[in-house]
Chain A
């Protein structure tokens, strides 16, 4: 290895205070103007865009939910046609899963993980920018198609043969399949970035057992994405090939098999639930420690639970297929594994309860959402254990009981922690506090509204209401519970309106937050709010799992990094010992151009297979432009 000793280069050990900050700010700042904005590779800028875009899709998906609840509020309503309803429930599920839940968790990780591990940017920042553009273009593609009445209408899991060309001879399933490809490319890219950021960019001294729990959660999630999403990419590719070039993967008359689709889909689809839920647990652990005023009890138990959940999540997929006629051994095995996964989740919940029990809880809005999470998620977990059993699942399969179950798990397990996380980290991201009063309104409206909306669905399912019906007749006796559910949905929607108002009002005029308004213990609170482009003037040195509680007045740091160019400190995997000072890429327009070329390729290939031929050269050109050294100082070392 070559040790470079360029004595002429100015380092951060030669400067101090404002002079140091100003210099680093100049080097790391995103260029001004529209072009500069399009070139940004700052993880905070990309992370903010990612968060805002994911919430915009939440709003759109939420509006669809309200439309469905209006339609179902009474029997035989004609507010939505059957065809529109099919598109709307498919769009709702696809938007919430692929454009909101997964991306929003990755978005928070993109923003927070580099700060929490004490570095200046995410690993592969240009890939990060590319990932965002792909996510944005894929989401817009889906929604523009919907606006043009080409929105997918085959359910969010697009089962064959319904989604085959024979039964759906429109472009709608192609739009669905290609939207999947967009979002999976985006998610896979972020996952690799997070893994490398956690493995190699941690502050010196942040050994594996000092990594914040949220970061651990995102690390496990990233591995789940890396091992689950290839399955859906194979699935969506083979579906689109069946539809466009007459391959026979799912055509039973030519040796294909419709159940192959279900296996490929659910081998991704079940880990997907944990890809959404595990980041939520990380948020819960972060919030809980701060507001219980003590470290979370059972740090190693929680980490081992996260890892165990990750492994087990790959052994459950067949429980979505209990009614397809499995061999008895298969049914038994997947019932057992489905029940087993409740164990690590249960362990985590006991750790959190013990933390609250032993702490001195301060009941601010983020903690309220955490408590709401515990209540709702435990209820969702209980109905999960119920449907893990084949006889019960056979009865309630494709009924509103299942709809109730997964909304309890997903909204309880992910959205409640997420809204808590918005209240918790908003001060860091914007420098301003959200209103506590509106926060309490937000929580209680959400908690009451959610339960009123979704609890009756358990009963509706048990008395036989199937999911995905656009209406029902009055003699089914489902009207009252549906009306109640729609009323709850309205209250739940109102809670998001309160959140939106709270954010809008306080974005500009909220009370100033200061560096560490909650007196929290992790490194993102050791820098200003919002953090400067360089995150930290000097890279922190970590000596404790809760560095800011060890010493809140002074921060041990390393010196010796360049102040003339973008430089990061790489450390070893386990011990986080400094290894190299590696260059970090400068802003570039190429990730955007590559994303545009890829978009043309993806959308073009829905209409003609030749797009694969003429779409490849522009992608190759933009990729070469991306990787070709730009002559900047760090490129020429």
Chain B
């Protein structure tokens, strides 16, 4: 088939940020389906809550302090996260490194705190359906937390190597974006796990 060139795109950039980037849309897609996973887990929790006359079953509600401390740190972490986002858009490598280190440290701290939260759930997964769903919900979010922290640490190391090229700044902004999802997903889970058993 004969070709007629009607347009030249040579002047376009070779990477973009946000909706101009492929990986950003990929992250959106995964957030949508993972968000659905959270919604289903919440639905399962509420179903078991609805069919059981006593809730929590055979256990005290979780201790409040680990979840509450996490929630505060999650909310505050949005600030350094957003700062990392801005310096990445400016392609300021030195500040991006600082931001990524800060986010890695915060993430590891949250993982440690998460360990305490499991220990203070006051139930085991095999105690009752209540214990099972609580461990499932918290485990699901922990998987997301751990994956994102792992990803952030790898990206931090990468930005200290020769691979810290301009297109990696777009990856940094996608990582920032995903962290916001981890934070946002936590908030309803905090209410569900720590407050619904106290209703």
Q: Which residues of A contact B (CB under 8 A)?
A: 1-5, 11, 13, 123-124, 127, 188, 191-192, 195-196, 199-201, 204, 226-227, 229-231, 233-234, 237-238, 241-242, 245-249, 251, 254-257, 260, 263-264, 267, 515, 526, 537-538, 541, 552-561, 567, 569-570, 573, 578-583, 620, 624, 627-629, 635-637
Contact = CB atoms under 8 A, between A and B. Distances in A.
Contact-residue bracket for chain B: 35 or more
A556 B6 contact: yes
A230 B125 contact: no
16 contacts: A1-B13, A1-B16, A2-B166, A4-B14, A227-B36, A238-B136, A248-B128, A249-B44, A249-B48, A249-B132, A256-B129, A558-B8, A559-B10, A579-B12, A580-B14, A620-B150
Given A3-B11, A255-B129, A637-B167, A558 B40 contact: no
B1 A582 contact: no
B166 to A, nearest CB: 6
B47 A260 contact: yes
Given A200-B25, A255-B57, A560-B11, A267 B16 contact: no
Contacts of B20: 1, 570, 579-580
Contact of A637 (B22, B41, B165): B165
A565 to B, nearest CB: 10
Contact of B8 (A195, A256, A553, A560): A560
B30 interface: yes
B10 A13 contact: yes
A553 B128 CA distance: 70
B165 A230 contact: no
A230 B34 contact: yes
Interface in B42-97: 44, 47-48, 51-52, 57, 91
A559 B44 contact: no
Nearest to A251: B129
A560 B32 CA distance: 34
Interface string B1-43: 1111111111111111101111001100110111011011100
Contacts of B44: 234, 238, 249, 260, 264
Contact of A263 (B39, B47, B52, B154): B47
Q: Which 10 A-B pairs have the closest CB atoms?
A: A560-B10, A255-B129, A192-B29, A247-B132, A230-B37, A256-B129, A246-B126, A560-B9, A554-B2, A226-B33
B184 interface: no
Nearest to A256: B129
B191 interface: no
A248 B25 CA distance: 38
Nearest to A1: B13
B133 interface: yes
Contacts of A247: 125-126, 131-132, 135-136
A238 B165 CA distance: 43
A257 B36 contact: no
Contact of B15 (A123, A256, A582): A582
A89 to B, nearest CB: 28
A246 B131 CA distance: 11
B186 interface: no
A581 B165 contact: no
Contact of B126 (A191, A248, A263): A248
B129 A554 contact: no
Nearest to B56: A255
Question: Which of A249, A538, A583 counts the most B-chain CB atoms under 10 A from its CB?
Answer: A249
A578 B9 contact: yes
Nearest to A541: B6
Given A199-B25, A256-B132, A559 B33 contact: no
Interface in B87-142: 91, 125-133, 135-136
Given A2-B166, A247-B135, A637 B9 contact: no
A556 B132 CA distance: 59
Contacts of A260: 44, 47-48
A144 to B, nearest CB: 28
A557 B6 contact: yes
